[in-house]
Amino acid sequence: MDEAGFAEAFDRWVETTGPKCYESLLGPHLPPRVERALDVGCGPGYLALYLAGRADHVVGLDLSGAMTRLARRKRDRVGVGNVSFVTGDVGAPPLRPASFDVVSSDTMLHDTEIEVTLPVLRSLVRPGGWVILRDVTTRHTGRSRSPLWQLAGTIRQVPRYLRELGPRQTWSVLRFEASPTWVRHRAEGGELTREEFRAAYSRVFPDCTFLDEPWAMTAIWRAPT
């Protein structure tokens, strides 16, 4: 699968398995209105487009040019004018320090070296601004990185997919989840256990609040004024 094919397949997979609903999770923790918001590892742009309703301007940053192109097409299709998508690495972002009221990210920080990335994200938020970071967590650190473990996890989900999505969509989901690109991607990711997540995020964002979901955790932190 090339980069553009992967971006399209990832977007279809998210749409099929459950489009992102940020309002109930993040809505109550975000200020009602801000000037500038950032979504790092924005992928096809779900969180950036959600933030567009709460911010004067949103920047979506992603390492993959195919993802930012896809996100721009989606933005233009839905007619949202206040989001720009930038291609770049969150480890060395082409962005001014302390220039965002909200710095956010969804299910991507496990793709990065968080000892480097979390301090970078902290440097981008303005005094008094908010950092809201959600990432997938794991129960079994070592095993969850093996490709066979990833595939076994997908197979365990088949009855649920069949029940909830029907045979045609289940087939499309399985083709994506069992694709070498996705299996390799998941196996290479540094997913943390809940305990590791709390410890790592608390070190950079002291006294942050944690939200728990069955498969993910979110850290919410307000920068000192």
Q: Note the residues at the interface with ligand SAM (CB under 6 A).
A: 14, 40-44, 46-47, 61-64, 67, 89-91, 106-108, 111-112
The answer to whether 115 touches 144, Cβ cutoff 8 Å, is no
Report, in Å, the least distance between residue 74 CB and ligand SAM.
11
Q: Which two tokens stand for residue 79?
A: 């007619």
Report, in Å, the least distance between residue 204 CB and ligand SAM.
17
- 9 or 174: whose CB is closer to ligand SAM? 9
In the complex, which residue's CB is closest to ligand SAM? 43
- 112 or 218: whose CB is closer to ligand SAM? 112
The answer to whether 86 touches 61, Cβ cutoff 8 Å, is yes
Report, in Å, the least distance between residue 125 CB and ligand SAM.
17
Report, in Å, the least distance between residue 116 CB and ligand SAM.
9
Rounded-to-integer distance, Cα 84 and Cα 169, Å: 32
- For residue 138, CA distances in Å to 45, 154, 187 come to 24, 14, 12
Helices (H), 79-146: 114-124
String of DSSP letters for 157-192: HHHHHHHHHHHHHHHHHHHHHTSHHHHHHHHHS-PB
Report, in Å, the least distance between residue 126 CB and ligand SAM.
21
- 47 or 192: whose CB is closer to ligand SAM? 47
- 10 or 205: whose CB is closer to ligand SAM? 10
- 43 or 129: whose CB is closer to ligand SAM? 43
Helices (H), the chain: 3-17, 23-26, 46-51, 65-78, 114-124, 147-177, 180-188, 194-204
Report, in Å, the least distance between residue 96 CB and ligand SAM.
17
- 163 or 219: whose CB is closer to ligand SAM? 219
Contacts of 48 (CB under 8 A, 6+ apart): 37, 39, 42, 58, 59, 60, 71, 83, 85
At which residue do the structure tokens 């964002």 appear?
A: 205
